[in-house]
Amino acid sequence: MMAEKVRYGIVGTNRLAVKFVEALKESAKGEAVANFGHDYKKAQQFAQEMAIPDTYDELESLFNDDSIDIVYLAIKNEDHYESAKAALEAGKNVLLEKPFTRHKVGARELFLLAQQKNLFIMESQSAIFLPIIEKAKQLIDQGMIGEVNFIDIQENYDTTDKKEWFTRLSAGGGAFINGGTTPIGLIQYLTGKDVTEWNGFEFNEVGETDTRCNLALKADDVLANIIIATDFGLETKIVVYGTKGRLAIPNYWEAKMAYLKTATGELKKFKADDQQSEIVHEINHINEALANKELKSSVVTPELTMHTMTIIESMYQKWYGDPLN
Protein backbone atom coordinates (compact mmCIF):
# COMPACT_ATOMS: atom_id res chain seq x y z
CA MET A 1 0.00 0.00 0.00
CA MET A 2 1.34 3.42 -0.96
CA ALA A 3 2.05 5.92 1.79
CA GLU A 4 0.13 9.19 2.16
CA LYS A 5 2.85 10.87 0.08
CA VAL A 6 4.36 9.44 -3.09
CA ARG A 7 8.02 8.78 -2.32
CA TYR A 8 10.50 9.58 -5.07
CA GLY A 9 14.03 8.34 -5.61
CA ILE A 10 16.06 10.92 -7.55
CA VAL A 11 18.76 9.73 -9.96
CA GLY A 12 20.99 12.57 -11.11
CA THR A 13 22.33 15.84 -9.72
CA ASN A 14 21.97 18.11 -12.75
CA ARG A 15 19.86 21.22 -13.30
CA LEU A 16 16.76 19.15 -14.10
CA ALA A 17 17.13 17.16 -10.88
CA VAL A 18 17.37 20.38 -8.88
CA LYS A 19 14.21 21.77 -10.49
CA PHE A 20 12.39 18.49 -9.94
CA VAL A 21 13.16 18.26 -6.22
CA GLU A 22 12.21 21.93 -5.75
CA ALA A 23 8.90 21.18 -7.48
CA LEU A 24 8.36 18.14 -5.25
CA LYS A 25 8.53 20.46 -2.25
CA GLU A 26 5.74 22.55 -3.79
CA SER A 27 3.57 19.53 -4.54
CA ALA A 28 1.00 18.39 -2.03
CA LYS A 29 1.58 14.64 -2.21
CA GLY A 30 5.17 14.03 -3.30
CA GLU A 31 8.53 13.93 -1.52
CA ALA A 32 12.12 12.99 -2.31
CA VAL A 33 13.33 10.28 0.09
CA ALA A 34 16.61 9.17 -1.51
CA ASN A 35 19.02 10.04 -4.30
CA PHE A 36 21.94 8.72 -6.31
CA GLY A 37 24.64 10.34 -8.42
CA HIS A 38 27.68 8.83 -10.13
CA ASP A 39 29.80 11.30 -8.15
CA TYR A 40 28.94 10.19 -4.60
CA LYS A 41 30.30 13.30 -2.87
CA LYS A 42 28.36 15.53 -5.24
CA ALA A 43 25.24 13.43 -4.63
CA GLN A 44 25.71 13.80 -0.86
CA GLN A 45 26.05 17.56 -1.21
CA PHE A 46 22.96 17.61 -3.45
CA ALA A 47 20.99 15.66 -0.82
CA GLN A 48 22.13 18.00 1.95
CA GLU A 49 21.18 21.12 0.01
CA MET A 50 17.82 19.68 -1.07
CA ALA A 51 17.01 18.03 2.31
CA ILE A 52 16.86 14.48 0.93
CA PRO A 53 17.22 11.93 3.78
CA ASP A 54 19.28 9.19 2.10
CA THR A 55 22.02 9.01 -0.54
CA TYR A 56 23.10 5.75 -2.17
CA ASP A 57 26.54 4.97 -3.54
CA GLU A 58 25.12 2.27 -5.84
CA LEU A 59 22.20 2.74 -8.23
CA GLU A 60 21.02 -0.84 -7.68
CA SER A 61 20.62 -0.12 -3.96
CA LEU A 62 18.31 2.82 -4.66
CA PHE A 63 16.22 0.71 -7.06
CA ASN A 64 15.91 -1.99 -4.35
CA ASP A 65 14.81 0.43 -1.63
CA ASP A 66 11.29 -0.68 -0.67
CA SER A 67 10.44 2.77 0.70
CA ILE A 68 10.60 4.30 -2.80
CA ASP A 69 7.43 4.33 -4.94
CA ILE A 70 8.84 5.84 -8.14
CA VAL A 71 12.23 6.85 -9.51
CA TYR A 72 12.91 10.00 -11.49
CA LEU A 73 15.77 9.54 -13.95
CA ALA A 74 17.53 12.80 -14.87
CA ILE A 75 20.61 11.25 -16.47
CA LYS A 76 22.59 11.26 -19.73
CA ASN A 77 20.56 10.19 -22.75
CA GLU A 78 22.79 7.21 -23.46
CA ASP A 79 21.93 5.78 -20.02
CA HIS A 80 18.15 6.14 -20.26
CA TYR A 81 17.27 2.69 -21.57
CA GLU A 82 19.52 0.61 -19.29
CA SER A 83 18.67 2.56 -16.13
CA ALA A 84 14.91 2.58 -16.77
CA LYS A 85 14.98 -1.15 -17.51
CA ALA A 86 16.89 -1.87 -14.29
CA ALA A 87 14.40 0.22 -12.29
CA LEU A 88 11.41 -1.61 -13.76
CA GLU A 89 13.02 -5.00 -13.17
CA ALA A 90 13.49 -3.97 -9.53
CA GLY A 91 9.77 -3.23 -9.31
CA LYS A 92 9.89 0.55 -9.44
CA ASN A 93 7.56 2.94 -11.26
CA VAL A 94 9.55 5.27 -13.53
CA LEU A 95 9.49 8.87 -14.69
CA LEU A 96 12.13 9.14 -17.43
CA GLU A 97 13.42 12.44 -18.75
CA LYS A 98 13.09 13.18 -22.45
CA PRO A 99 14.17 11.96 -24.90
CA PHE A 100 12.69 8.68 -23.63
CA THR A 101 15.35 6.52 -25.29
CA ARG A 102 17.62 6.85 -28.31
CA HIS A 103 15.68 4.19 -30.19
CA LYS A 104 12.11 2.98 -30.66
CA VAL A 105 13.05 -0.64 -30.06
CA GLY A 106 14.23 0.15 -26.54
CA ALA A 107 11.23 2.36 -25.83
CA ARG A 108 8.82 -0.37 -26.88
CA GLU A 109 10.63 -2.84 -24.61
CA LEU A 110 10.31 -0.48 -21.63
CA PHE A 111 6.58 0.02 -22.15
CA LEU A 112 6.04 -3.76 -22.53
CA LEU A 113 8.14 -4.51 -19.44
CA ALA A 114 6.19 -1.96 -17.39
CA GLN A 115 2.92 -3.50 -18.59
CA GLN A 116 4.09 -7.02 -17.68
CA LYS A 117 5.10 -5.92 -14.20
CA ASN A 118 2.02 -3.71 -13.62
CA LEU A 119 4.18 -0.64 -13.23
CA PHE A 120 3.77 2.98 -14.30
CA ILE A 121 6.26 4.53 -16.72
CA MET A 122 6.08 7.93 -18.40
CA GLU A 123 8.29 10.23 -20.42
CA SER A 124 8.66 13.59 -18.72
CA GLN A 125 6.92 16.20 -20.90
CA SER A 126 6.37 18.90 -18.33
CA ALA A 127 5.51 21.65 -20.84
CA ILE A 128 2.19 19.98 -21.62
CA PHE A 129 1.21 20.47 -17.98
CA LEU A 130 2.01 24.21 -17.92
CA PRO A 131 -1.06 26.23 -16.83
CA ILE A 132 -0.54 28.63 -19.75
CA ILE A 133 -0.62 25.71 -22.20
CA GLU A 134 -3.76 24.33 -20.57
CA LYS A 135 -5.32 27.80 -20.84
CA ALA A 136 -4.35 27.99 -24.51
CA LYS A 137 -5.94 24.61 -25.20
CA GLN A 138 -9.16 25.73 -23.48
CA LEU A 139 -9.29 28.86 -25.66
CA ILE A 140 -8.65 26.83 -28.81
CA ASP A 141 -11.27 24.22 -27.88
CA GLN A 142 -13.76 27.02 -27.22
CA GLY A 143 -13.25 28.28 -30.78
CA MET A 144 -11.80 31.62 -29.69
CA ILE A 145 -9.53 31.75 -32.77
CA GLY A 146 -11.80 29.69 -35.01
CA GLU A 147 -10.45 26.62 -36.79
CA VAL A 148 -6.72 26.17 -36.25
CA ASN A 149 -4.74 26.39 -39.50
CA PHE A 150 -1.10 26.77 -38.48
CA ILE A 151 1.14 26.48 -35.40
CA ASP A 152 4.58 28.06 -35.20
CA ILE A 153 6.91 26.97 -32.38
CA GLN A 154 10.38 28.38 -31.75
CA GLU A 155 12.59 26.80 -29.10
CA ASN A 156 15.90 28.17 -27.81
CA TYR A 157 17.33 24.96 -26.31
CA ASP A 158 19.83 25.40 -23.46
CA THR A 159 22.77 22.98 -23.60
CA THR A 160 24.68 24.47 -20.65
CA ASP A 161 24.89 21.20 -18.69
CA LYS A 162 25.22 19.01 -21.81
CA LYS A 163 28.38 20.44 -23.41
CA GLU A 164 30.42 17.33 -22.63
CA TRP A 165 28.38 15.01 -24.86
CA PHE A 166 25.93 17.09 -26.89
CA THR A 167 27.95 16.99 -30.12
CA ARG A 168 28.02 13.16 -30.22
CA LEU A 169 25.18 11.26 -31.89
CA SER A 170 26.12 8.06 -30.07
CA ALA A 171 25.60 9.83 -26.75
CA GLY A 172 22.15 11.10 -27.69
CA GLY A 173 23.32 14.57 -28.66
CA GLY A 174 21.61 16.85 -31.15
CA ALA A 175 19.13 19.72 -31.17
CA PHE A 176 16.18 17.74 -32.54
CA ILE A 177 16.41 14.60 -30.41
CA ASN A 178 16.79 16.72 -27.27
CA GLY A 179 14.50 19.64 -28.08
CA GLY A 180 12.00 18.11 -30.49
CA THR A 181 9.92 16.07 -28.05
CA THR A 182 8.29 19.09 -26.43
CA PRO A 183 7.10 20.98 -29.55
CA ILE A 184 5.90 17.79 -31.30
CA GLY A 185 3.95 16.88 -28.18
CA LEU A 186 2.52 20.40 -27.91
CA ILE A 187 1.28 20.39 -31.51
CA GLN A 188 -0.61 17.17 -30.92
CA TYR A 189 -1.88 18.24 -27.49
CA LEU A 190 -3.16 21.63 -28.63
CA THR A 191 -4.85 20.29 -31.76
CA GLY A 192 -5.94 16.88 -30.47
CA LYS A 193 -4.61 15.48 -33.77
CA ASP A 194 -1.69 13.21 -34.62
CA VAL A 195 1.16 14.49 -36.76
CA THR A 196 0.74 12.60 -40.03
CA GLU A 197 3.48 14.06 -42.25
CA TRP A 198 6.83 15.71 -41.59
CA ASN A 199 10.09 16.79 -43.17
CA GLY A 200 12.95 19.04 -42.24
CA PHE A 201 16.51 20.26 -42.37
CA GLU A 202 19.37 20.56 -39.90
CA PHE A 203 22.72 22.30 -39.58
CA ASN A 204 25.77 20.66 -38.07
CA GLU A 205 29.51 20.97 -38.00
CA VAL A 206 31.32 18.15 -39.80
CA GLY A 207 31.35 15.02 -37.65
CA GLU A 208 29.02 16.48 -35.04
CA THR A 209 25.29 16.45 -34.28
CA ASP A 210 22.77 19.09 -35.30
CA THR A 211 22.97 22.42 -33.50
CA ARG A 212 19.78 23.77 -35.10
CA CYS A 213 16.92 22.37 -37.14
CA ASN A 214 13.74 23.41 -38.92
CA LEU A 215 10.78 21.02 -39.28
CA ALA A 216 7.58 21.30 -41.29
CA LEU A 217 4.75 19.09 -40.04
CA LYS A 218 1.11 18.32 -40.77
CA ALA A 219 -1.44 17.22 -38.18
CA ASP A 220 -4.49 16.27 -40.21
CA ASP A 221 -5.50 19.66 -41.71
CA VAL A 222 -3.20 21.75 -39.48
CA LEU A 223 0.22 22.81 -40.72
CA ALA A 224 3.03 23.44 -38.23
CA ASN A 225 6.60 24.67 -38.12
CA ILE A 226 9.26 23.95 -35.49
CA ILE A 227 12.60 25.72 -35.22
CA ILE A 228 15.05 24.60 -32.53
CA ALA A 229 18.36 26.36 -31.96
CA THR A 230 21.22 25.75 -29.54
CA ASP A 231 23.80 28.10 -31.03
CA PHE A 232 22.08 31.49 -31.31
CA GLY A 233 19.56 33.52 -29.33
CA LEU A 234 16.29 32.34 -30.86
CA GLU A 235 13.16 33.70 -29.21
CA THR A 236 11.18 30.90 -27.55
CA LYS A 237 7.47 31.21 -28.35
CA ILE A 238 4.30 29.55 -29.60
CA VAL A 239 1.87 31.19 -32.03
CA VAL A 240 -1.34 29.41 -33.04
CA TYR A 241 -3.12 30.83 -36.10
CA GLY A 242 -6.83 30.28 -36.70
CA THR A 243 -9.56 31.46 -39.03
CA LYS A 244 -10.71 34.10 -36.51
CA GLY A 245 -7.38 35.27 -35.06
CA ARG A 246 -4.18 34.10 -33.46
CA LEU A 247 -2.99 33.12 -30.00
CA ALA A 248 0.58 33.90 -28.94
CA ILE A 249 2.56 32.75 -25.89
CA PRO A 250 6.00 34.39 -25.73
CA ASN A 251 8.63 32.52 -23.71
CA TYR A 252 5.99 29.93 -22.91
CA TRP A 253 8.06 27.98 -20.35
CA GLU A 254 7.81 30.94 -17.95
CA ALA A 255 4.79 32.82 -19.29
CA LYS A 256 1.67 33.55 -17.27
CA MET A 257 -0.12 35.37 -20.10
CA ALA A 258 -1.42 34.41 -23.54
CA TYR A 259 -2.28 37.11 -26.09
CA LEU A 260 -5.19 36.63 -28.46
CA LYS A 261 -5.51 38.92 -31.46
CA THR A 262 -8.81 38.73 -33.31
CA ALA A 263 -9.26 39.05 -37.06
CA THR A 264 -10.49 42.62 -36.47
CA GLY A 265 -7.30 43.56 -34.61
CA GLU A 266 -8.70 43.45 -31.08
CA LEU A 267 -6.12 42.30 -28.50
CA LYS A 268 -7.22 40.21 -25.52
CA LYS A 269 -5.03 39.01 -22.65
CA PHE A 270 -5.61 35.75 -20.80
CA LYS A 271 -3.90 34.81 -17.55
CA ALA A 272 -3.10 31.25 -16.51
CA ASP A 273 -4.68 30.06 -13.29
CA ASP A 274 -2.55 28.61 -10.47
CA GLN A 275 0.77 29.32 -12.18
CA GLN A 276 3.56 27.27 -10.63
CA SER A 277 6.58 25.48 -12.02
CA GLU A 278 5.48 23.27 -14.89
CA ILE A 279 7.03 20.33 -13.05
CA VAL A 280 4.69 20.75 -10.06
CA HIS A 281 1.69 20.16 -12.31
CA GLU A 282 3.37 17.15 -13.92
CA ILE A 283 4.17 15.71 -10.48
CA ASN A 284 0.57 16.19 -9.33
CA HIS A 285 -0.60 14.35 -12.46
CA ILE A 286 1.76 11.43 -11.73
CA ASN A 287 0.81 11.29 -8.04
CA GLU A 288 -2.86 11.10 -8.96
CA ALA A 289 -2.20 8.36 -11.51
CA LEU A 290 -0.27 6.29 -8.95
CA ALA A 291 -2.95 6.82 -6.29
CA ASN A 292 -5.54 5.53 -8.78
CA LYS A 293 -3.26 2.58 -9.69
CA GLU A 294 -3.10 3.68 -13.32
CA LEU A 295 -0.27 2.11 -15.33
CA LYS A 296 0.09 4.90 -17.87
CA SER A 297 -0.50 8.61 -18.16
CA SER A 298 -3.73 9.76 -19.78
CA VAL A 299 -1.86 12.79 -21.18
CA VAL A 300 1.68 11.69 -22.05
CA THR A 301 0.62 8.28 -23.30
CA PRO A 302 2.95 5.54 -24.57
CA GLU A 303 1.41 6.14 -28.00
CA LEU A 304 2.38 9.83 -27.90
CA THR A 305 5.96 9.00 -26.92
CA MET A 306 6.31 6.26 -29.55
CA HIS A 307 4.89 8.44 -32.33
CA THR A 308 7.18 11.34 -31.38
CA MET A 309 10.13 8.96 -31.45
CA THR A 310 9.09 7.73 -34.90
CA ILE A 311 9.27 11.31 -36.22
CA ILE A 312 12.62 12.05 -34.59
CA GLU A 313 14.19 8.74 -35.60
CA SER A 314 13.09 9.10 -39.23
CA MET A 315 14.72 12.53 -39.50
CA TYR A 316 18.04 11.33 -38.10
CA GLN A 317 17.90 8.44 -40.55
CA LYS A 318 17.55 11.00 -43.35
CA TRP A 319 20.21 13.38 -42.03
CA TYR A 320 22.85 10.91 -40.86
CA GLY A 321 21.82 7.49 -42.17
CA ASP A 322 21.55 6.54 -38.49
CA PRO A 323 18.20 5.26 -37.14
CA LEU A 324 19.43 5.88 -33.57
CA ASN A 325 19.46 2.20 -32.66
> What are the tens digits of pLDDT across the range 160-194?
877 888 888 888 899 999 999 999 999 999 999 99
Residue 256: how many CA atoms within 13 Å on its side-chain side? 6
> What are the tens digits of pLDDT across the range 244-298?
999 999 999 888 899 999 989 999 999 987 666 678 989 999 999 999 999 999 9
Residue 273 has a pLDDT of 73
Reported pTM: 0.91
**Which residues, other chains included, contact 249 with Cβ-Cβ below 8 Å and sequence gap of 6+?**
132, 133, 136, 237, 238, 239, 255, 257, 258, 259
> What are the tens digits of pLDDT across the range 86-99?
999 999 999 999 99
Q: Average pLDDT for residues 109-131, to the nearest whole number?
A: 95
Residue 323 has a pLDDT of 54
157 phi/psi in degrees, rounded to 5: -90, 120
Residue 274 has a pLDDT of 66
Q: For all residues of the chain together, what is the average pLDDT?
A: 92
Residue 79 has pLDDT above 60, yes or no: yes
Residue 3 has pLDDT above 70, yes or no: no
**Confidence band (pLDDT; 50, 70, 90) for 2?**
low
Residue 325 has a pLDDT of 44
164 phi/psi in degrees, rounded to 5: -60, -35
Residue 1 has pLDDT above 50, yes or no: no
Residue 321 has a pLDDT of 83
SS (H, E, C) the chain: CCCCCEEEEEECCCHHHHHHHHHHHHCCCEEEEEEECCCHHHHHHHHHHHCCCEEECCHHHHHCCCCCCEEEECCCHHHHHHHHHHHHHCCCEEEECCCCCCCHHHHHHHHHHHHHCCCCEEECCHHHHCHHHHHHHHHHHCCCCCCEEEEEEEEECCCHHHCCCCCCHHHCCCHHHHHCHHHHHHHHHHHCCCCCEEEEEEEECCCCCEEEEEEEEEECCEEEEEEEECCCCCCCEEEEEECCEEEEEECCCCCCEEEEEECCCCEEEEECCCCCCHHHHHHHHHHHHHHCCCCCCCCCCHHHHHHHHHHHHHHHHHHHCCCCC
